[in-house]
Structure 1
């Protein structure tokens, strides 16, 4: 099923949905007219319950799609069109006002409805200079305004005569032309311009087009605009209304934070509204589980664990209909248009299992610092791939590829491994465990999906018998860092700060320096804390037993990217492990005088 077909079907699920020919728009002001067209008052429509006035949404005759030309809306518009006044330079404000005035004087001619006649009289006698007098204020400039007749509660566009006129105008605009709609397969008047989509992060605030043909290079066979992808006006309206509803800020079907540059919406395709809503709620909690409520976080964590073990979704959530189809759409800004970063559709059970496997692959012992129940994809990426820990610095293409891997169960992109290692080289703290968790997930899934899958995966916690050179070198590096901290206490820069990137990439050039410095540190620890020295030396002896001398020496000259990843995992495992002996002496990162960097972003 295509994106537009799925959105067209979702339209029927929207409560109190706008009818074809109508759309929700934001308003702050209403001009109250007398029956003779005089201005009686200006009504403030803002929501004043919060700290700042907020505009309210009202369903009005559908907004026209403006490109570079002048096109007035019917029965409402911004002040430049309605009143001929704007806060800017207003180079073509007079033309815009004249277009609005001409449209309504012609369209309302002969209308016997009192409200419509009053609007026509108002526009006939109105002059822009009148705006400088009460009750008008400069706060109104460039805001949308509508009309109401004095003594009535309904707005002008809500009057039966106005609704009938809107319907007649829409029917007349369709003309006699008819196309077979690519979305529904039914005949209908073609949509020349597709609806404007609002709410995508980074896109134009006035909205952008999901489907458009605004250059000759995008067209074929001499066709213009929407003729290149025949879509009926009804289908175009429905998919536009559905997508704008899904993109409502803080709406239940939208991720709170974009994935990279992609604004993500999702919805279930179920026969019953309650079952669809239950599916939406379940997916929202699993895909975006960064919540503060500990009880709910524990519930999500347990649900994902049970699904990962093979338990059917129906047994965990009986309110979700078995076989429910689910859709996930990621939209990215692209100048005046929108790009589909990813489009995933399938059985919700499949998505749930893929999500559960994703979090199982990320499992690490102990859990990384500030991990929570199950971190969202955006928080995972900002902690491991973004410079300066800024969400804006998440690589957009990488974010889309990771999201697809998370929801489909396919291999993570190799670029995720590269990005995590690059951030460690750039100074991100390997001690927090976030990078190790991501690297472990990437490597284990690669092993699982390779043509010759390896039976043994990278361990979740410290495994002294794990025979990988990178892993054992990471352990060795962590122990020498422990020796430094045991000898010197808290220092401005540990060997991790100075050598981690070089030690993981070119061990032969760095480890001789680390070993020499480590021997000096151990000599001091033996004098001051002999119990700790014994623990460290015992661990060094065990780790060094894994290295076999070769032609180039005991340390490899370089490590492959995958082995550099295992270096980070071995480092975290060893650093997080408490060393003890038969006397009860204990030593771990937590017992040494250094704070772990990298507070939760």
Structure 2
């Protein structure tokens, strides 16, 4: 199933989906009219909280405006409806004139009391009447609707208004064609509705499908005729996508990709359960939520991470749920698809378990293994989400979902961040390990492997021991450790550094033998056992290490350094974190 077809199908399963031709918009104020068109009151529809959020109201579908002037039907922002704005308003007079003239044309001959009142209001209204206290200043640039003083429904909800909107929508319909999404015949959407809520895209919305250059025109087909999608199907897929983007239960942020997901299942409760588990897998933190439902999701996620088959713990989700994941990122005035995946939830869970196996490491982070976004933070400059490399996030997510190879840029980006700040933590080591296993099929140890002879791993361990010798001899008085000074060079060009490190370690040993003779002997024996693993037939300290060997250098360093912070039965307690 194509991405757009899946979204159009998801529209049919939305519990409170707007009917065709309508959209949910933020409405700030309602102008209450008397039957003669005079204003009886102006009602603030916004919430009373600090944010003063506008009310979501179902209105005739918003027009897609770029540079042109095109009024919405029976509602709009104050620049169109009243001719007032909070900005410079270079086109405000023209916008209001278009709204007034267009509506007077549409409403001519109507015998509905509400529509007649609106026509009388527009005939008599002038922007200079927008003065307090009836017209509040905070009303400027808010969306406005109307209602009669004698009724409780908005004007656009009256039967006559709905009939008017249906007639207006039908006037601009094109010749029917076969829709690429549904296979049914219907008028083709010339312009597809805008998608709102994608992080980094225009707040007014951006296009997922558009044709607006001569290069996109073929066989005299213009705009939407190049790929005929019916107006009903275009409305369905954009409505579903906008709903998912605005709903935290269906949305995650993976790097720069605004990620939406949904399940297709006959049982809505089962579908919701699958969506909750997916959110916990990749983004939603469940550690601080004590809700009953969240506790259940947390328990299920633990069992999945432990490697139990989904068919054993949640048989309903294994084969009976079809799952969809879509990642969107901004691209000028359009949206680009970072990744798109569909398949059974059982396949998704199996691929996620493979990702967990790839990143398994001992010791694990103190707070447990986190969701994917926390890994991505380790690749960002200054640890800021906005600095996550954009393409890596989408490519890595796609590889995890589909069970394919990880992007090699993931390896180089992690090594670059380690060289930049010298931090080798559990998450970064796990990323390095996962790429070596998934892409190169290397056998990488989960915990400290004292018999591993890979030269990158051995040198990483040796570097950690040299650092421990310095720490043991000098304590916390060192301003910059050998890791701060030499890690980047030691992992890439070890021959230039390790002889210097060995010379410095001998100086530190002379002091350590006086402070703690037993500790000095143990560290000397450890250095000896590590150097014995080096290849005697070649230079034990190579001139350079490949990227894969640099990754093993980091893993070996992490394993050995972590071992120093553990308590062992055969030693006196060491420093613990």
Q: TM-score, normalised by structure 1?
A: 0.92
- Cα distance, 1:112 vs structure 2: 1.1
Match of 1:345 among 332, 342, 356: 342
Q: 1:382 aligns with which of 377, 382, 388?
A: 377
Q: Which residue of 1 aligns with 2:399?
A: 405
Question: CA 1:443–1:221 in structure 2 vs 1: closer, same or farther (change >3 Å)?
Answer: same
Distance across 2 between alignment mates of 1:254 and 1:217: 34
The 8 Å contact of residues 472 and 570 in structure 1, kept in 2 or not, is answered as yes
Q: Judge conservation of contact 1:535–1:587 (CA < 8 Å) in 2.
A: no
SS of corresponding position for 2:341: strand
* Equivalent-residue separation in structure 2 for 1:309 and 1:152 (angstroms): 60
Mapping of 1:130-529 within 5 angstroms?
130-174=129-173, 177-248=175-246, 250-255=247-252, 258-293=253-288, 303-304=300-301, 306-307=303-304, 311-320=308-317, 322-370=319-367, 372=368, 374-383=369-378, 385-430=379-424, 432-448=425-441, 457-490=443-476, 491-529=478-516
SS in 1 for 2:259: strand
Q: Secondary structure at the match of 1:247?
A: helix
Displacement of 1:306: 4.3
* Structure 2 segments unaligned to the other structure (5+ residues): none
| CA positional deviation for 1:396 | 0.8
> Separation in 2 of the partners of 1:291 and 1:214?
45
Work out whether residues 262 and 324 of structure 2, in 8 Å CA contact, stay in contact via their aligned partners in 1. Answer: yes
Please list the CA deviations of residues 522-573 of structure 1 after superposition, one character each: whole Å capped at 9, or x if unmatched: 111111111211211111111010113455x431111111010000000010
Deviation of residue 272 (structure 1)? 2.9
- Provide Cα deviations, 1:484-529, integer angstroms capped at 9, x if missing partner: 0000011111000000010011111100010000011111111111
Q: 1:269 deviation in Å?
A: 1.7
- In structure 2, the residue matched to 1:599 is none
Displacement of 1:282 in angstroms is: 2.0
Query: Larger deviation: 62-71 or 542-551?
Result: 542-551
CA-to-partner distance for each residue in 1:280-312, whole Å, 9 max, x for gaps? 222122222433338789876764564467644
Change (3 A) 1:187 1:277: same
Distance in 1 of aligned mates of 2:565 and 2:258: 46
2:557 corresponds to 1:561: no
| 2:113 corresponds to 1:114 | yes
Contact persistence 1:45–1:55 (CA under 8 A): yes
* SS class of match (2:347): helix
Taking the aligned partners of 1:513 and 1:185, their CA distance within structure 2 comes to: 72
CA shift for structure 1 position 156: 1.0
1:20·1:238 contact (CA, 8 Å) conserved in 2? yes
User: What is the number of residues matched between the two proteins?
Assistant: 574
Partner Cα distance (1:151, 1:554) in 2: 92
Q: Aligned partners of 1:194, 1:252: CA distance in 2, in Å?
A: 25
Q: Which residue number in structure 2 is paired with residue 532 of structure 1? A: 519
Q: Distance in 2 between matches of 1:201 and 1:217?
A: 28
Say whether the 8 Å CA contact 1:308–1:357 is kept in structure 2: no
RMSD after superposition: 2.1
Cα gap change, 1:36/1:197 in structure 2, threshold over 3 Å: closer, same or farther? same
Call closer, same or farther: CA 1:321–1:59 in 2, change over 3 Å: farther
TM-score normalised to structure 2 length = 0.95
In the alignment, which residue of structure 1 is the partner of 2:4? 4
Query: CA–CA distance in 1 between the matches of 2:78 and 2:567?
Result: 80
Measured in 2, the distance between the counterparts of 1:160 and 1:87 equals 34
| Residues 428 and 143 of structure 1: CA distance in aligned 2, closer, same or farther (over 3 Å) | farther
**Structure 1: which 5+ residue stretches go unaligned?**
449-453, 597-601
Instruction: State how far apart, in whole Å, the 2-side matches of 1:581 and 1:45 are.
Output: 63
Distance in 2 between residues matched to 1:441 and 1:246, nearest whole Å: 31
Q: 1:289 to 1:22 in 2, by over 3 A?
A: closer
